[in-house]
Amino acid sequence: MKSTLTFLIAFFAMTTVVLADDDLATLKSGKPVVKDISTSSKSETQLTFLVKAKPEKIWDVLVDYEKYPEFMPIEKVQIRSKAKDTEVVFIQPEAPPLIDISYEIRRHYDKDDWKITFEKVSGKIKSINGSWKLESYDSHYTKVVYITNVDIGIPVPGFVKDYFSKGSLYRMAEAVKKRVESRGKWKKK
């Protein structure tokens, strides 16, 4: 019951920031936009980028978690359990040597709304939750919105946190975009 309540709070707390005209110009130029979403009760980061593909092509890449190490900044993935619209997934992100920030998340799939939500089940970090949302942008592009809230559980200076979190978001946007637009052939080096 507690995990269901936590999920529902996280699910309904996810908000999409409306982008300003200069942000839309950045998106149209092919670059991602990263925004901090802070309120009195939460602090999240939103990544928005455009992919030249229909939502279903992007969806197929996002739900194929076992292939993430081929193109995302992730070293290892293991599917722990699967149900119709839910998976529990172990993730070991790329990290400096001797640093373990592995965790398990529960992912919920809503293909009718092109939305994936996730929350931490267990792991080395204190908390992580967020969502992926796909929105048709025009006849050729889909807007991808990724919102996340990560707390690693130890105090970290803001500039260090920004360097790692925002840097990884830009790499993730590039990875998803290249993977989808190459029809699943692009792999990281």
For the beta carbon of residue 146, count every other beta carbon within 10 angstroms: 21
Question: Binning pLDDT at 50, 70 and 90, where does residue 97 land?
Answer: confident
Of 138, 122, 150, the C-alpha closest to 46 is: 150
How many residues comprise the chain?
A: 189
pLDDT higher than 70, residue 42: no
Total-model pTM: 0.84
Which pLDDT tens digit goes with each residue over 104-129? 999 999 999 999 999 999 998 888 89
For the beta carbon of residue 117, count every other beta carbon within 10 angstroms: 22
Of the ranges 11-15, 47-51, 164-168, which one carries the lowest mean pLDDT score? 11-15
Give me the pLDDT at residue 154, please: 72
Mean pLDDT of all residues in the chain? 85
Give me the pLDDT at residue 8, please: 39
Q: Are the C-beta atoms of 49 and 144 separated by less than 8 Å?
A: yes
